Chain A
Amino acid sequence: AQRVTQPEKLLSVFKGAPVELKCNYSYSGSPELFWYVQYSRQRLQLLLRHISRESIKGFTADLNKGETSFHLKKPFAQEEDSAMYYCALLSGGYQKVTFGTGTKLQVIP
């Protein structure tokens, strides 16, 4: 069965410091991975999709199949980055989406 693990419930960093939100997955097939962001209990929005390899709002994420990881990174945190971040795995013939438990990022001014 597929599984997504986000080991940190809360990550606090100072403004301007680098950020790394960890995501590890377990899936026997070829994964499609996403990062979603949720500001203040609003609707979730797509931040990144590993296939597109885009950089959104300064965030990047690289799929490491050897380590089964998809960590989210940003070199310099901004206050507006404070939010809940969810890693998600699409599997099962594009039917099932499994979310991690989320990491709350708190950027301290």
Chain B
Amino acid sequence: EAQVTQNPRYLITVTGKKLTVTCSQNMNHEYMSWYRQDPGLGLRQIYYSMNVEVTDKGDVPEGYKVSRKEKRNFPLILESPSPNQTSLYFCASRRTGGGKLFFGSGTQLSVL
């Protein structure tokens, strides 16, 4: 089954403790991206990647890092999480050249 898999589904952590949210897709998509969803603000793009070793900032990249060492994986790294990063995070992928985004099931992150 074609899908985007995110882990974990829920995560509670404390300020300053590094964490990684994983994202994997099995559709051989070149394009992958991360979004955060906040009430009243909709979805905002954090980072995206056009292909392996090619990443770029979205609208709200501060406090986040990403890497794209393999085509299928696109982890989101929070080196020193802060409470304002408490949010619902979605990973998505699609083929190059446009078309619909396939979304993961989301990761609800709470930073205390």
Contacts and interface: CB of A to CB of B under 8 A. Distances in A.
Interface of A: 6, 9, 32, 34, 36, 41-46, 49, 86, 88, 90, 94-102
6 contacts: A44-B43, A44-B92, A86-B42, A97-B45, A97-B101, A98-B45
B103 to A, nearest CB: 4
Interface of B: 31, 33, 35, 40-45, 48, 50, 56, 58-59, 88, 90, 92, 96-101, 103-106
Contacts, number: 56
A30 to B, nearest CB: 11
A85 to B, nearest CB: 11
A102 B100 contact: no
Given A86-B43, A94-B96, A41 B101 contact: no
Secondary structure of the A side of the interface? strand
A101 B40 CA distance: 6
Given A96-B45, A99-B42, A43 B90 contact: yes
